[in-house]
Structure 1
């Protein structure tokens, strides 16, 4: 049976995020120091996104909280989420985040993973018409959109690794924002996705790597689903995974084994299972017959492998629930 997001699960995820989005330490900075004056802590550098072990996890922690508030507005925790967002997602604090981008050597800051998650947060904020969060965040979203405009034409080759540098993941989230806010960026994303992935065939499924949290194969497929009309995607996917009918390659249908959830990198593999579940569920909606059934079964198996492990050790707890939410809300949260 396909797992659905329940109010109890949503409340649990929200409690996790509320426990870490303002937890400053431990913290892993993406920060280049140009002199001793730049030796600063997370809160001094980032007025909003100083928690959750790293900047990008804090961003998608807020995304998760706002998503849960929208989906379950009657949960008691929704009031706490509203109060937090009213306090933090405000113009003067957003200005501080923008000021960080004006520092020296920030061109590669959070590229492209954090860029894409910030755009996704802005999209989610715009769905809350009773608040001013989207208006406050818009200048920061525009700043990262400008970075995509500058970067994608220069990125000759896609980055296929299953970690933060993955190009396809960033294109998926950025396109969701661009289709609402920036037609030129949406066109650029579609064009670059076609350049990067349009001729890919017979994916070998050489994954996972030891610290992947994305499936390089399936996130590429999801990106192509987002940029191609239905018939064109079906043709592309049939060439990309010609062995789908016999569940080949087996690696794409087999969840990753996680040997040590206290190891920050090995714990990525729980995210790998959850993000695969998201991708399989999304792709299944574009398939027919046995292929769709196999995709949905693979999604369920991957979700079951890691859903119970979103909490327990901070190395996973500060981010895994966001990826569980992607999987559990597949089809509406992009």
Structure 2
């Protein structure tokens, strides 16, 4: 990633996180005390339309500041992080989670991004502030996964595999027992999957159920087991089938928040294909096709991460996932 691209991504997200914009109210209102402004309900994670977008916006900003520490935008990021990522403000976020009505709050998408944010902050002065939030969601994962009979294979926030990619990466470093649970549940759900039809995308997908599943399995199986599993899961991938996984989605209206999700699908597919090819190794026959598919998906949506708020408040995060994976 060039410094110019990093600075552009940073400016897009700095314009939103921590600003008193009218967030989408996606929490359960248990009483009149819940009818408050976004910053009162969530002292850190407000200003980016919804809670999870603000969380992964902070993930994006901290990663950009780490990768490009000398950019002027990185200095702004550090200053804002010092003002926002404080013990006192985190106490308010944790108090919201402690409400009885918040048991399913942001499950699983926001849980995963909170853990990814803490993972990114490791070794910085903000790690300790973010740790209680990540561990709170780790506790919820540990309780939730054994009773989740079936994985959720949707192409949006509820997707199980996407969330577990981030949760697993965090757990390997911070909670090995959770990593073991994720490995066991992912193997239980997905190990026997073969001949994926990939009936996607749906009209408001921003995740590929097929490729997120494959990327998760590349982590939990390891390289020696992953390639045989992948060959059974997508047996025609070496001839670019199912074709829908290799061609970008068409976005007809970027001012429509749901249709704009499809730009996120293109970016997240590029991220998945790049991660999958790295796991398969250079000699696997699907690798050249997958690398080309990743580039097509990036080319289709990278020019459109700004220009309309419906995409602008979140797409830079998915662009960074794809570019950084490359």
Relative to the length of structure 2, the TM-score reads 0.98
Do structure 1's residue 113 and structure 2's residue 109 form an aligned pair? yes
C-alpha distance in structure 1 between counterparts of 2:257 and 2:132, whole Å: 32
Partner of 1:307: 302
SS of aligned partner of 2:100: coil
1:282 positional shift = 0.6
**1:27-38 correspondence to structure 2 within 5 Å:** 27-38=23-34
C-alpha distance in structure 2 between counterparts of 1:73 and 1:37, whole Å: 41
Partner of 2:292: 297
Moved more, 103-112 or 212-221: 103-112
2:149 to 146, 156, 164: 156
C-alpha distance in structure 2 between counterparts of 1:166 and 1:29, whole Å: 21
SS of aligned partner of 2:285: helix
C-alpha distance in structure 2 between counterparts of 1:24 and 1:281, whole Å: 36
**1:60-71 correspondence to structure 2 within 5 Å:** 60-71=56-67
Q: What is the number of residues matched between the two proteins?
A: 324
SS of aligned partner of 2:286: helix
1:123 to 100, 119, 138: 119
Which structure 2 segments of 5+ residues have no match? none
Partner of 1:14: 10
1:51 positional shift = 1.2
**1:199-238 correspondence to structure 2 within 5 Å:** 199-238=192-231
1:24 positional shift = 2.8
2:276 to 264, 267, 283: 283
C-alpha distance in structure 2 between counterparts of 1:68 and 1:7, whole Å: 9
C-alpha distance in structure 2 between counterparts of 1:162 and 1:142, whole Å: 26
1:104 positional shift = 2.5
1:237-295 C-alpha deviation (Å, 9 max, x unpaired):
00001001110010111100001101110000000000000000010112324311111
1:21/1:52 contact within 8 Å kept: yes
2:22/2:38 contact within 8 Å kept: no
1:90 positional shift = 1.1
1:37-80 C-alpha deviation (Å, 9 max, x unpaired):
22112111000001110000000000000000000011111111
SS of aligned partner of 1:211: coil
2:274/2:325 contact within 8 Å kept: yes
Moved more, 117-126 or 280-289: 280-289
C-alpha distance in structure 2 between counterparts of 1:115 and 1:24, whole Å: 23
1:189-221 C-alpha deviation (Å, 9 max, x unpaired):
000100111100000010000000000000000
1:24/1:53 contact within 8 Å kept: no
C-alpha distance in structure 2 between counterparts of 1:55 and 1:148, whole Å: 18
SS of aligned partner of 1:239: helix
Do structure 1's residue 329 and structure 2's residue 303 form an aligned pair? no
Partner of 2:82: 86
Aligned Cα root-mean-square deviation (Å): 0.9
2:132 to 139, 160, 163: 139
